[in-house]
Amino acid sequence: MRGRAVGLGLLGLGAFLLVGAFMVGLVLAPTMVKLPLDQTAEPTAVGSDVSFFDLGEMRQLRGLDAEVQQRVQGDPTSEAAGEDIAVWNFGSVMTDSDGQLMNASTYRVCLDRTDAVAVACDVDQVDYDRDKDVEGLTLTFPFGTEQRDYDLFNPTTGQSFPARFEGVEEIQGLEVYKFVTTVPETVIRETDVPGALVGDPEAGTVPAEVVYSNQRTVWVEPTSGVVVTAKETPNTVLRGPDGTTGATILAGTFSGTDETVAAGVERAEETRGQITLIQRTLPLLMAGLGLVLLVVGVVLLLRGRTDRRRGAA
């Protein structure tokens, strides 16, 4: 009698675990695998062979070294933040080797917490220009990043451009996907400048275009969507009314420091481990244990039935 009771109990528990494994994959995983509301990251990049136009001294500088301090900070207290949307702030400050400010930018974006794309909300802001809409991917890639092209937002132009998948690589033992975005020459604003800055020293003030281009490469851990590191070669120049290229406002090659790469690898591995636990490991363990309990329960019931028959005989 005791064996039958134990067998029935194991059957019930096994069935419960099998159903639980199914529910974890179907309900719990989508609920828990979302972008965090309180995301924090502080990557640093270094620039080499940087060209910069010093407006204060009105002189062109070349061959500089620079450092870019960036910060990503989630804002869980924002009215737009919630179950489906995360609000993240991004800031970037570039200084030369003497600590002099060369460039600074900020933007604020609302992200779909499941697929990481920017969504419309009242707090979107790019360099204090509320007329620019943020579209596509921004500060992270989606969970389960695929080997395909994605639209990646460029805050300087306020536009999205294709981030083309270019292969699988390895960084510090971590498998990553490589994506390359090419931003063609784009006029980002128009301004009046001294003619000397666009190759016409005899002229006074002339209208000029500020033209920006860039090639940006990002390396993404696919399960977590974490951008482990990045490299880019921005080039911003003045172009005169006759099409002549003038002073270089900012240009150079920028890439993440060793410390930033190590931190990106660690963050990606940690996030990937959490996702794998929820999506695969836990459901498999529950399903495996449930099957074992079902088998043991059936064996006990069959053995108990056989024993009763022998006793009756």
88 inside domain: yes
Sign of dihedral through CA atoms 30, 31, 35, 39? negative
Question: Which residue, among 83, 74, 75, 69, has the nearest Cα to 40 in the 3D structure?
Answer: 74
Residue 249 class from Cβ within 10 Å (0-12 exposed, 13-18 middle, 19+ buried)?
buried
Distance between CA atoms of residues 114 and 35, nearest Å: 7
pLDDT bin (cut points 50, 70, 90) of residue 209 is very high
Give the pLDDT score at 9: 60
| DSSP 8-state assignment for residue 138 | -
What predicted TM-score, i.e. pTM, was given to this entire model?
0.83
Same domain, 171 and 97: yes
* CB neighbours of residue 270 within 10 Å: 12
Distance between CA atoms of residues 12 and 217, nearest Å: 53
Buried b (16+ CB within 10 A) or exposed e, 169-204: eebeebebbbbbbebeebeeeeeebbbebbbbeeee
Same domain, 108 and 76: yes
Same domain, 244 and 301: no
Same domain, 213 and 84: yes
271 inside domain: no
pLDDT bin (cut points 50, 70, 90) of residue 311 is low
237 inside domain: yes
Same domain, 40 and 172: yes
Residue 302 in this model has a pLDDT that exceeds 70: no
Same domain, 194 and 298: no
Same domain, 177 and 301: no
* Structural domain total, the chain: 2
Domain limits for position 17:
2-27+278-312
Same domain, 184 and 293: no
268 inside domain: no
Same domain, 103 and 149: yes
Same domain, 244 and 284: no
Distance between CA atoms of residues 138 and 158, nearest Å: 11
Same domain, 143 and 283: no
Rounded to an integer, the average pLDDT of 7-32 is 53
The H or E element containing residue 29 is helix 29-32
Same domain, 50 and 8: no
Distance of CA 156 to the CA centre of its chain: 18
